[in-house]
A and B are shown apart, each in its own frame.
Chain A
Amino acid sequence: MELSYYPGCTVKTRARNFEESAIAVMQTLGVTLAELPRWNCCGTVYSLADDDLIHHVAGVRNLMQVRNQGHSKIVTLCAFCYNTLHRANLVMKDQSDNRFGINSFMDEEKPYNGEVSVAHLLQVLRDDIGWEKIAARVTRPVNGIKIAVYYGCTLLRPQSAAVDNPENPVVLQNVVKACGATPVDFPFATECCGSFQVVSNREFVNERAYEITNSARKNGAELMLVSCPLCEFNLRQAQGKLKDKYPDFQAMPLLYFTQLMALAFGLSAGVNRFDLNSPETQVWLSQKQLMV
Protein backbone atom coordinates (compact mmCIF):
# COMPACT_ATOMS: atom_id res chain seq x y z
CA MET A 1 0.00 0.00 0.00
CA GLU A 2 1.21 3.49 -0.80
CA LEU A 3 0.02 6.53 1.13
CA SER A 4 0.55 10.17 0.28
CA TYR A 5 2.55 11.72 3.09
CA TYR A 6 2.91 15.34 4.23
CA PRO A 7 6.07 15.95 6.32
CA GLY A 8 6.10 19.64 7.31
CA CYS A 9 9.01 21.83 8.39
CA THR A 10 10.07 20.41 11.73
CA VAL A 11 9.81 16.75 10.79
CA LYS A 12 12.19 17.46 7.89
CA THR A 13 14.81 19.09 10.13
CA ARG A 14 14.84 18.88 13.95
CA ALA A 15 12.60 15.83 14.11
CA ARG A 16 14.30 13.62 11.51
CA ASN A 17 14.28 10.90 14.16
CA PHE A 18 10.47 10.99 13.95
CA GLU A 19 10.35 10.90 10.17
CA GLU A 20 13.03 8.30 9.52
CA SER A 21 11.68 5.91 12.14
CA ALA A 22 8.12 6.37 10.83
CA ILE A 23 9.09 5.63 7.23
CA ALA A 24 11.03 2.51 8.27
CA VAL A 25 8.26 1.25 10.56
CA MET A 26 5.60 1.72 7.89
CA GLN A 27 7.78 -0.02 5.32
CA THR A 28 8.00 -2.99 7.70
CA LEU A 29 4.20 -2.96 7.87
CA GLY A 30 3.97 -2.94 4.09
CA VAL A 31 3.08 0.73 3.67
CA THR A 32 5.14 3.16 1.64
CA LEU A 33 4.89 6.77 2.75
CA ALA A 34 5.24 8.69 -0.51
CA GLU A 35 6.15 12.32 0.14
CA LEU A 36 3.75 14.81 -1.42
CA PRO A 37 5.62 16.66 -4.17
CA ARG A 38 5.90 20.44 -3.85
CA TRP A 39 4.31 20.62 -0.41
CA ASN A 40 4.37 23.97 1.35
CA CYS A 41 3.98 25.09 4.98
CA CYS A 42 0.63 24.09 6.49
CA GLY A 43 0.44 27.38 8.41
CA THR A 44 1.33 25.61 11.70
CA VAL A 45 -1.58 27.04 13.71
CA TYR A 46 -5.20 27.16 12.65
CA SER A 47 -6.62 30.66 12.65
CA LEU A 48 -9.31 31.09 15.30
CA ALA A 49 -10.81 34.24 13.78
CA ASP A 50 -14.02 34.11 11.74
CA ASP A 51 -12.89 36.89 9.42
CA ASP A 52 -9.44 35.49 8.66
CA LEU A 53 -9.60 33.22 5.63
CA ILE A 54 -6.16 33.99 4.21
CA HIS A 55 -4.48 31.81 6.82
CA HIS A 56 -6.30 28.72 5.55
CA VAL A 57 -4.93 29.12 2.04
CA ALA A 58 -1.55 27.46 2.73
CA GLY A 59 -3.30 24.37 4.07
CA VAL A 60 -5.82 24.26 1.24
CA ARG A 61 -3.03 24.54 -1.34
CA ASN A 62 -1.48 21.35 0.05
CA LEU A 63 -4.82 19.55 -0.03
CA MET A 64 -5.36 20.56 -3.66
CA GLN A 65 -1.92 19.20 -4.42
CA VAL A 66 -2.90 15.85 -2.86
CA ARG A 67 -6.00 15.72 -5.04
CA ASN A 68 -4.07 16.72 -8.14
CA GLN A 69 -1.69 13.82 -7.49
CA GLY A 70 -4.68 11.49 -7.65
CA HIS A 71 -4.75 10.67 -3.94
CA SER A 72 -7.80 10.82 -1.70
CA LYS A 73 -5.95 10.81 1.63
CA ILE A 74 -2.95 12.55 3.14
CA VAL A 75 -1.07 11.25 6.17
CA THR A 76 0.87 13.46 8.58
CA LEU A 77 3.28 12.77 11.42
CA CYS A 78 3.41 16.19 13.01
CA ALA A 79 0.44 16.87 15.29
CA PHE A 80 0.42 20.57 14.34
CA CYS A 81 0.32 19.84 10.61
CA TYR A 82 -2.40 17.27 11.21
CA ASN A 83 -4.54 19.73 13.14
CA THR A 84 -4.09 22.65 10.74
CA LEU A 85 -4.64 20.65 7.56
CA HIS A 86 -7.57 18.74 9.02
CA ARG A 87 -9.36 21.89 10.11
CA ALA A 88 -8.64 23.76 6.88
CA ASN A 89 -10.21 20.78 5.15
CA LEU A 90 -13.30 21.03 7.37
CA VAL A 91 -13.68 24.69 6.35
CA MET A 92 -13.69 23.64 2.69
CA LYS A 93 -16.06 20.77 3.31
CA ASP A 94 -18.61 22.32 5.65
CA GLN A 95 -18.57 26.11 5.30
CA SER A 96 -19.99 26.96 1.90
CA ASP A 97 -19.48 30.74 2.11
CA ASN A 98 -15.88 30.42 3.20
CA ARG A 99 -15.25 27.70 0.63
CA PHE A 100 -16.49 30.04 -2.08
CA GLY A 101 -14.31 32.88 -0.75
CA ILE A 102 -11.16 30.77 -0.59
CA ASN A 103 -11.72 29.11 -3.96
CA SER A 104 -12.39 32.48 -5.60
CA PHE A 105 -9.23 33.93 -4.08
CA MET A 106 -7.05 30.99 -5.08
CA ASP A 107 -8.41 31.04 -8.61
CA GLU A 108 -7.29 27.51 -9.48
CA GLU A 109 -8.75 25.68 -12.45
CA LYS A 110 -10.66 23.26 -10.32
CA PRO A 111 -12.18 24.48 -7.05
CA TYR A 112 -11.53 22.43 -3.92
CA ASN A 113 -14.46 21.09 -1.91
CA GLY A 114 -12.77 19.12 0.85
CA GLU A 115 -12.51 15.87 -1.15
CA VAL A 116 -9.27 14.74 0.47
CA SER A 117 -9.23 13.21 3.93
CA VAL A 118 -6.49 14.17 6.39
CA ALA A 119 -5.23 11.43 8.71
CA HIS A 120 -2.57 11.22 11.38
CA LEU A 121 -0.25 8.22 11.30
CA LEU A 122 -1.79 6.96 14.56
CA GLN A 123 -5.14 6.66 12.79
CA VAL A 124 -3.54 4.71 9.95
CA LEU A 125 -1.94 2.33 12.47
CA ARG A 126 -5.23 1.81 14.30
CA ASP A 127 -7.77 1.86 11.48
CA ASP A 128 -5.93 0.64 8.37
CA ILE A 129 -3.38 -1.75 9.86
CA GLY A 130 -4.66 -2.82 13.27
CA TRP A 131 -2.91 -3.67 16.54
CA GLU A 132 -2.78 -7.41 15.89
CA LYS A 133 -0.84 -6.99 12.68
CA ILE A 134 1.52 -4.58 14.44
CA ALA A 135 2.01 -6.94 17.38
CA ALA A 136 2.79 -9.73 14.92
CA ARG A 137 5.77 -7.74 13.61
CA VAL A 138 7.38 -7.41 17.03
CA THR A 139 10.63 -9.34 17.16
CA ARG A 140 12.21 -7.63 20.16
CA PRO A 141 9.44 -7.02 22.67
CA VAL A 142 10.21 -4.13 24.94
CA ASN A 143 8.62 -6.09 27.77
CA GLY A 144 8.34 -4.65 31.22
CA ILE A 145 9.11 -1.08 30.23
CA LYS A 146 6.62 1.26 31.88
CA ILE A 147 5.68 4.09 29.58
CA ALA A 148 3.66 7.27 30.09
CA VAL A 149 2.11 8.34 26.80
CA TYR A 150 1.77 12.06 26.20
CA TYR A 151 -0.74 13.34 23.65
CA GLY A 152 -0.58 17.12 24.08
CA CYS A 153 -3.29 19.27 22.47
CA THR A 154 -3.48 19.21 18.74
CA LEU A 155 -4.21 15.51 18.27
CA LEU A 156 -7.25 15.78 20.53
CA ARG A 157 -8.73 19.27 20.37
CA PRO A 158 -11.07 20.48 19.05
CA GLN A 159 -13.33 17.42 19.04
CA SER A 160 -13.91 17.79 15.28
CA ALA A 161 -10.20 17.13 14.73
CA ALA A 162 -9.61 14.58 17.50
CA VAL A 163 -7.90 11.34 16.50
CA ASP A 164 -9.44 9.64 19.54
CA ASN A 165 -11.71 10.41 22.51
CA PRO A 166 -10.47 13.89 23.52
CA GLU A 167 -10.76 13.32 27.28
CA ASN A 168 -9.89 9.64 27.41
CA PRO A 169 -7.72 8.69 24.43
CA VAL A 170 -6.21 5.21 24.18
CA VAL A 171 -4.51 5.06 20.78
CA LEU A 172 -0.97 5.70 22.07
CA GLN A 173 -1.46 3.24 24.93
CA ASN A 174 -2.44 0.69 22.30
CA VAL A 175 0.82 1.34 20.43
CA VAL A 176 2.67 0.66 23.69
CA LYS A 177 0.73 -2.55 24.30
CA ALA A 178 1.22 -3.77 20.73
CA CYS A 179 4.97 -3.33 21.23
CA GLY A 180 4.85 -5.44 24.37
CA ALA A 181 5.49 -2.62 26.87
CA THR A 182 3.21 -1.42 29.67
CA PRO A 183 1.39 1.93 29.54
CA VAL A 184 0.97 3.75 32.85
CA ASP A 185 -1.86 6.16 33.52
CA PHE A 186 -0.91 9.68 34.42
CA PRO A 187 -3.14 12.74 34.71
CA PHE A 188 -1.18 15.02 32.38
CA ALA A 189 -1.46 12.88 29.24
CA THR A 190 -3.77 15.30 27.44
CA GLU A 191 -2.58 18.57 28.97
CA CYS A 192 -0.79 21.27 27.04
CA CYS A 193 2.99 21.59 27.44
CA GLY A 194 2.83 25.34 26.79
CA SER A 195 3.25 24.92 23.04
CA PHE A 196 4.66 27.91 21.11
CA GLN A 197 4.83 29.92 24.34
CA VAL A 198 8.34 28.47 24.52
CA VAL A 199 9.40 31.34 22.25
CA SER A 200 8.34 34.20 24.51
CA ASN A 201 7.76 32.54 27.90
CA ARG A 202 10.22 29.70 28.12
CA GLU A 203 10.32 29.74 31.93
CA PHE A 204 6.59 28.98 32.09
CA VAL A 205 6.92 26.14 29.60
CA ASN A 206 9.71 24.73 31.77
CA GLU A 207 7.35 24.79 34.75
CA ARG A 208 4.82 22.85 32.70
CA ALA A 209 7.52 20.34 31.76
CA TYR A 210 8.42 19.97 35.45
CA GLU A 211 4.84 19.12 36.42
CA ILE A 212 4.23 16.82 33.46
CA THR A 213 7.49 14.92 33.82
CA ASN A 214 7.22 14.59 37.60
CA SER A 215 3.69 13.28 37.33
CA ALA A 216 4.78 10.65 34.80
CA ARG A 217 7.63 9.66 37.12
CA LYS A 218 5.38 9.48 40.20
CA ASN A 219 3.03 7.17 38.35
CA GLY A 220 5.83 4.74 37.69
CA ALA A 221 6.93 5.64 34.16
CA GLU A 222 10.57 5.29 33.13
CA LEU A 223 9.98 6.64 29.64
CA MET A 224 7.61 9.11 28.01
CA LEU A 225 6.24 8.55 24.54
CA VAL A 226 5.39 11.61 22.46
CA SER A 227 3.74 12.23 19.12
CA CYS A 228 4.29 15.95 18.57
CA PRO A 229 7.65 17.54 17.65
CA LEU A 230 6.86 20.66 19.69
CA CYS A 231 5.95 18.67 22.83
CA GLU A 232 9.18 16.73 22.33
CA PHE A 233 11.23 19.90 22.04
CA ASN A 234 9.57 21.59 25.01
CA LEU A 235 9.95 18.62 27.34
CA ARG A 236 13.51 17.91 26.16
CA GLN A 237 14.91 21.43 26.34
CA ALA A 238 13.45 21.95 29.82
CA GLN A 239 15.19 18.95 31.35
CA GLY A 240 18.68 20.43 31.69
CA LYS A 241 17.40 23.70 33.11
CA LEU A 242 15.06 22.02 35.58
CA LYS A 243 17.93 20.14 37.15
CA ASP A 244 19.51 23.48 38.07
CA LYS A 245 16.31 24.89 39.52
CA TYR A 246 14.98 21.77 41.24
CA PRO A 247 17.83 19.58 42.52
CA ASP A 248 15.39 16.71 43.10
CA PHE A 249 14.29 16.70 39.45
CA GLN A 250 14.91 13.49 37.58
CA ALA A 251 15.11 13.77 33.81
CA MET A 252 12.86 11.52 31.78
CA PRO A 253 13.83 9.77 28.54
CA LEU A 254 11.60 10.71 25.59
CA LEU A 255 10.88 8.76 22.44
CA TYR A 256 8.56 9.28 19.51
CA PHE A 257 6.05 6.45 19.27
CA THR A 258 7.54 5.45 15.93
CA GLN A 259 10.96 5.05 17.58
CA LEU A 260 9.50 2.65 20.13
CA MET A 261 7.92 0.68 17.29
CA ALA A 262 11.22 0.56 15.39
CA LEU A 263 12.91 -0.78 18.53
CA ALA A 264 10.22 -3.42 19.02
CA PHE A 265 10.38 -4.40 15.34
CA GLY A 266 14.12 -4.94 15.76
CA LEU A 267 15.00 -2.41 13.05
CA SER A 268 18.58 -1.17 12.88
CA ALA A 269 19.33 1.69 15.27
CA GLY A 270 20.21 3.94 12.31
CA VAL A 271 16.55 4.49 11.42
CA ASN A 272 15.90 5.94 14.86
CA ARG A 273 18.46 8.76 14.66
CA PHE A 274 18.93 8.70 18.43
CA ASP A 275 21.55 11.45 18.02
CA LEU A 276 18.58 13.84 17.85
CA ASN A 277 17.09 12.60 21.13
CA SER A 278 18.10 13.97 24.53
CA PRO A 279 21.31 12.78 26.25
CA GLU A 280 19.13 11.30 29.00
CA THR A 281 17.30 9.22 26.41
CA GLN A 282 20.57 7.96 24.95
CA VAL A 283 21.88 6.97 28.39
CA TRP A 284 18.64 5.19 29.20
CA LEU A 285 18.68 3.31 25.87
CA SER A 286 22.26 2.14 26.53
CA GLN A 287 21.33 0.98 30.00
CA LYS A 288 18.45 -1.00 28.56
CA GLN A 289 20.73 -2.30 25.81
CA LEU A 290 18.36 -0.96 23.20
CA MET A 291 20.89 1.08 21.22
CA VAL A 292 21.67 -1.83 18.90
Chain B
Amino acid sequence: MARIELSSAKLKKDFIKKIAEISGQNIYECYQCGKCSAGCPMCFAMDILPSQVIRLAQLGLEDEIKASKTIWLCASCLTCDARCPKGVDLSRVMEAMRLLTLRKSKNHLEPSQMARPEVADLPQIALVSSFRKFTG
Protein backbone atom coordinates (compact mmCIF):
# COMPACT_ATOMS: atom_id res chain seq x y z
CA MET B 1 0.00 0.00 0.00
CA ALA B 2 1.19 3.50 -0.73
CA ARG B 3 2.24 5.91 1.99
CA ILE B 4 -0.68 7.04 4.15
CA GLU B 5 -0.94 10.03 6.37
CA LEU B 6 -2.51 9.79 9.82
CA SER B 7 -3.84 12.87 11.56
CA SER B 8 -6.18 13.78 14.39
CA ALA B 9 -8.24 15.77 11.88
CA LYS B 10 -8.97 12.59 9.93
CA LEU B 11 -9.95 10.78 13.12
CA LYS B 12 -12.55 13.44 13.82
CA LYS B 13 -14.02 13.27 10.36
CA ASP B 14 -17.75 12.95 9.78
CA PHE B 15 -16.97 9.85 7.77
CA ILE B 16 -16.51 7.70 10.90
CA LYS B 17 -19.64 9.09 12.50
CA LYS B 18 -21.72 8.49 9.38
CA ILE B 19 -20.53 4.90 9.10
CA ALA B 20 -21.56 4.25 12.70
CA GLU B 21 -24.91 5.90 12.10
CA ILE B 22 -25.79 4.02 8.90
CA SER B 23 -24.36 0.62 9.88
CA GLY B 24 -25.24 0.63 13.56
CA GLN B 25 -21.82 -0.93 14.18
CA ASN B 26 -19.01 0.15 16.48
CA ILE B 27 -15.97 -0.18 14.23
CA TYR B 28 -13.61 0.34 17.19
CA GLU B 29 -14.63 -3.08 18.49
CA CYS B 30 -12.44 -4.61 15.76
CA TYR B 31 -9.05 -5.81 17.04
CA GLN B 32 -7.74 -6.95 13.66
CA CYS B 33 -7.81 -10.72 14.12
CA GLY B 34 -8.40 -11.10 10.39
CA LYS B 35 -11.11 -13.76 10.56
CA CYS B 36 -13.28 -11.75 8.17
CA SER B 37 -10.54 -11.69 5.55
CA ALA B 38 -9.76 -15.36 6.09
CA GLY B 39 -13.34 -16.37 5.33
CA CYS B 40 -14.22 -13.84 2.64
CA PRO B 41 -15.04 -15.65 -0.62
CA MET B 42 -14.23 -12.62 -2.77
CA CYS B 43 -10.99 -11.53 -1.12
CA PHE B 44 -8.87 -13.16 -3.87
CA ALA B 45 -10.11 -10.36 -6.13
CA MET B 46 -9.72 -7.50 -3.64
CA ASP B 47 -6.89 -4.98 -3.58
CA ILE B 48 -7.21 -4.45 0.17
CA LEU B 49 -8.61 -7.05 2.55
CA PRO B 50 -11.89 -6.62 4.44
CA SER B 51 -9.99 -6.40 7.74
CA GLN B 52 -7.83 -3.66 6.25
CA VAL B 53 -10.93 -1.73 5.18
CA ILE B 54 -12.17 -1.61 8.75
CA ARG B 55 -8.70 -0.58 9.99
CA LEU B 56 -8.63 2.28 7.48
CA ALA B 57 -12.10 3.28 8.64
CA GLN B 58 -10.98 3.35 12.27
CA LEU B 59 -8.31 5.83 11.24
CA GLY B 60 -10.70 7.94 9.19
CA LEU B 61 -8.88 7.20 5.94
CA GLU B 62 -11.87 7.75 3.69
CA ASP B 63 -9.92 8.48 0.50
CA GLU B 64 -7.93 5.26 0.77
CA ILE B 65 -11.13 3.25 1.13
CA LYS B 66 -12.76 5.03 -1.79
CA ALA B 67 -9.71 4.42 -3.99
CA SER B 68 -10.03 0.68 -3.39
CA LYS B 69 -12.48 -1.62 -5.15
CA THR B 70 -12.97 -3.86 -2.11
CA ILE B 71 -16.32 -2.49 -0.93
CA TRP B 72 -17.74 -3.03 -4.44
CA LEU B 73 -16.64 -6.67 -4.51
CA CYS B 74 -18.50 -7.57 -1.32
CA ALA B 75 -21.42 -9.85 -2.13
CA SER B 76 -23.05 -9.43 1.32
CA CYS B 77 -22.71 -13.16 1.97
CA LEU B 78 -22.35 -12.39 5.70
CA THR B 79 -19.57 -14.90 6.34
CA CYS B 80 -17.58 -12.13 8.06
CA ASP B 81 -20.58 -11.30 10.23
CA ALA B 82 -21.07 -14.95 11.18
CA ARG B 83 -17.44 -15.39 12.23
CA CYS B 84 -16.44 -12.08 13.85
CA PRO B 85 -15.46 -12.83 17.47
CA LYS B 86 -16.25 -9.23 18.43
CA GLY B 87 -19.71 -9.21 16.92
CA VAL B 88 -18.96 -6.53 14.35
CA ASP B 89 -21.14 -6.97 11.28
CA LEU B 90 -18.65 -5.95 8.60
CA SER B 91 -21.23 -6.48 5.85
CA ARG B 92 -23.19 -3.56 7.34
CA VAL B 93 -20.03 -1.43 7.50
CA MET B 94 -19.38 -2.20 3.82
CA GLU B 95 -22.98 -1.29 2.97
CA ALA B 96 -22.64 2.02 4.82
CA MET B 97 -19.47 2.81 2.86
CA ARG B 98 -21.18 2.05 -0.45
CA LEU B 99 -24.16 4.17 0.52
CA LEU B 100 -21.93 7.17 1.28
CA THR B 101 -21.06 7.17 -2.43
CA LEU B 102 -24.41 6.03 -3.84
CA ARG B 103 -26.38 8.62 -1.87
CA LYS B 104 -24.51 11.32 -3.76
CA SER B 105 -26.23 9.99 -6.89
CA LYS B 106 -23.03 8.34 -8.06
CA ASN B 107 -23.89 4.96 -9.46
CA HIS B 108 -21.28 2.26 -9.25
CA LEU B 109 -23.11 0.20 -11.86
CA GLU B 110 -24.65 2.11 -14.75
CA PRO B 111 -27.65 0.12 -16.04
CA SER B 112 -27.70 1.99 -19.37
CA GLN B 113 -24.10 0.94 -20.05
CA MET B 114 -24.76 -2.77 -19.69
CA ALA B 115 -24.40 -4.96 -22.77
CA ARG B 116 -27.74 -6.19 -24.04
CA PRO B 117 -26.90 -9.90 -24.53
CA GLU B 118 -25.51 -10.05 -21.03
CA VAL B 119 -28.63 -8.52 -19.51
CA ALA B 120 -30.82 -10.93 -21.43
CA ASP B 121 -28.85 -13.84 -20.05
CA LEU B 122 -29.01 -12.84 -16.37
CA PRO B 123 -31.78 -13.92 -14.01
CA GLN B 124 -33.87 -11.10 -12.51
CA ILE B 125 -32.69 -11.93 -9.01
CA ALA B 126 -29.09 -11.02 -10.03
CA LEU B 127 -30.08 -7.82 -11.80
CA VAL B 128 -32.40 -6.49 -9.11
CA SER B 129 -29.87 -7.30 -6.39
CA SER B 130 -27.11 -5.50 -8.26
CA PHE B 131 -29.25 -2.44 -8.91
CA ARG B 132 -30.19 -2.40 -5.23
CA LYS B 133 -26.57 -2.63 -4.14
CA PHE B 134 -24.78 -0.55 -6.75
CA THR B 135 -27.09 2.25 -7.86
CA GLY B 136 -28.24 5.27 -5.89
- Interface residues in chain A, defined as those with a beta carbon under 8 Å from any beta carbon in chain B: 8-10, 13-15, 41, 43-45, 47-52, 55, 78, 80, 153, 157-159, 166-167, 191-201, 204, 207-208, 229-230, 233, 237
Contacts and interface: CB of A to CB of B under 8 A. Distances in A.
Given A45-B128, A158-B81, A196-B126, 18 more contacts: A9-B124, A10-B123, A10-B124, A13-B124, A45-B76, A48-B94, A48-B96, A51-B21, A157-B77, A157-B79, A191-B41, A192-B79, A195-B76, A200-B134, A204-B44, A204-B45, A204-B73, A233-B123
Contacts of A8: 125
B78 A153 contact: yes
Nearest to A237: B121
Nearest to B134: A200
A207 B133 CA distance: 22
A230 B126 contact: yes
Given A49-B23, A49-B95, A153 B123 contact: no
Interface of B: 21-24, 41-42, 44-45, 72-73, 75-79, 81-82, 89, 91-92, 94-96, 99, 108-109, 114, 121-130, 132-134
Contacts of B132: 43-45, 47, 55
Given A195-B75, A198-B122, A229-B123, A49 B41 contact: no
Contact of A195 (B45, B94, B121, B129): B129
Contacts of B41: 191-194, 208
Contacts of B126: 195-196, 198-199, 230, 233
A157 B125 contact: no
A83 B95 CA distance: 17
A9 B122 CA distance: 12
Given A49-B22, A49-B96, A197 B121 contact: no
A207 B121 CA distance: 19
